[in-house]
């Protein structure tokens, strides 16, 4: 019997996520900075934005990186947090954050000519 590889082993995904620490001071910047250090260490492509972070890689890599961020906040004394994750999956072709933005930008540019 042949075993079929699952999504976690083969598909490149894009994720948009945010982790909100609960019961801490009103500024989250020190927690965000710690998470960004973790993402940098993974070697995955990521991009901080005003309301979260975009991250790309294989499913298992992306989920592992997000878990490391949650674990780090707990190490920093955050007893409770909420994590929101949106994941974009395409099985018909490879996708990247850069390509996704470029496609839309190209369409806007074409329509303004």
CB 58 within 8 Å of CB 9: yes
- pLDDT tens-digit readout, 73-105: 999 999 999 999 999 998 888 788 898 889 889
Residue 2 in any domain: the answer is no
Residue 4 in any domain: the answer is no
- pLDDT tens-digit readout, 2-15: 445 666 666 889 99
Based on the structure, what is the number of domains in the chain?
Answer: 1
Instruction: Count CA atoms closer than 13 A to 47's CA, side-chain side.
Output: 10
Q: What is the CATH number of the domain that holds 28?
A: 3.30.70.930
Residues with Cβ < 8 Å from 30, sequence gap 6 or more?
76
Could you tell me the residue range of the domain that residue 74 belongs to? 9-111
Which residues in 90-112 are b (16+ Cβ under 10 Å) and which e? eeeeebebeeeeeeeeeeeeeee
What is the reported pTM?
A: 0.86
């Amino acid at each position: 019997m042949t075993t079929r590889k699952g999504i976690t082993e083969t598909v490149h995904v894009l994720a948009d996520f945010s982790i909100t620490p609960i019961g801490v001071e009103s500024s989250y910047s020190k927690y965000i900075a710690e998470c960004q250090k973790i993402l940098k260490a993974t070697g995955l492509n990521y991009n901080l934005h005003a309301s979260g972070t975009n991250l790309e890689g294989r499913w298992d890599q992306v989920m592992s990186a997000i878990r490391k961020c949650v674990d780090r906040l707990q190490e920093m004394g955050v007893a409770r947090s909420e994590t929101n994750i949106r994941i974009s999956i395409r099985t018909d072709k490879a996708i990247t954050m850069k390509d996704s933005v470029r496609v839309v930008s190209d369409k806007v540019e074409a329509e303004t000519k």
